[in-house]
Structure 1
């Protein structure tokens, strides 16, 4: 996957990888279709940060999930 191309497929892949890496219990609540391509760069920034880390504290996970929630289309 190339995050350079702003496509729906890449946005979906990034969100799915974030959910996997964080091992979210309620991952079904975070669906890629809830995010517009206008938010691609913001999601990509979170994605790249999540990819770099091996482990996350509870507060880090909460912050990431909260930020993803803020990026969702209303």
Structure 2
């Protein structure tokens, strides 16, 4: 998958990957319909950060979820 291209499909893919990796229970909070391409680069940065790490502290999880919440429409 080429994440250099801004598209709704890529947003959906990244959000699904983030939800799976972080084991987010309330997955509806990260519905791809709530994100647009305006913040694509920020979302991609979060995605790459999440994919690099194997585990997260509670404060890291909180910060990631907070940041994703700020990127929502």
Please give the alpha-carbon distance, in whole angstroms, between the structure 1 residues aligned to 2:62 and 2:3: 24
TM-score normalised to the size of structure 1? Answer: 0.95
TM superposition shift of 1:10: 0.5
Give, in angstroms, the shift of residue 53 of structure 1: 0.1
State the partner residue of 2:42.
42
Q: Alignment RMSD, CA only?
A: 0.7
Aligned to 2:30: 30
1:28 deviates by 1.7
SS at match of 2:13: helix
C-alpha displacement at 1:27, in angstroms? 1.2
Q: Count the aligned residue pairs.
A: 73
**Aligned counterparts of 1:11 and 1:28: Cα–Cα separation in 2:** 14
Gaps of 5+ in 1: none
Structure 2 distance, partners of 1:27, 1:58, is 18
SS in 2 for 1:29: helix
Q: Superposition pairs for residues 57-72 of structure 1, below 5 Å? A: 57-72=57-72
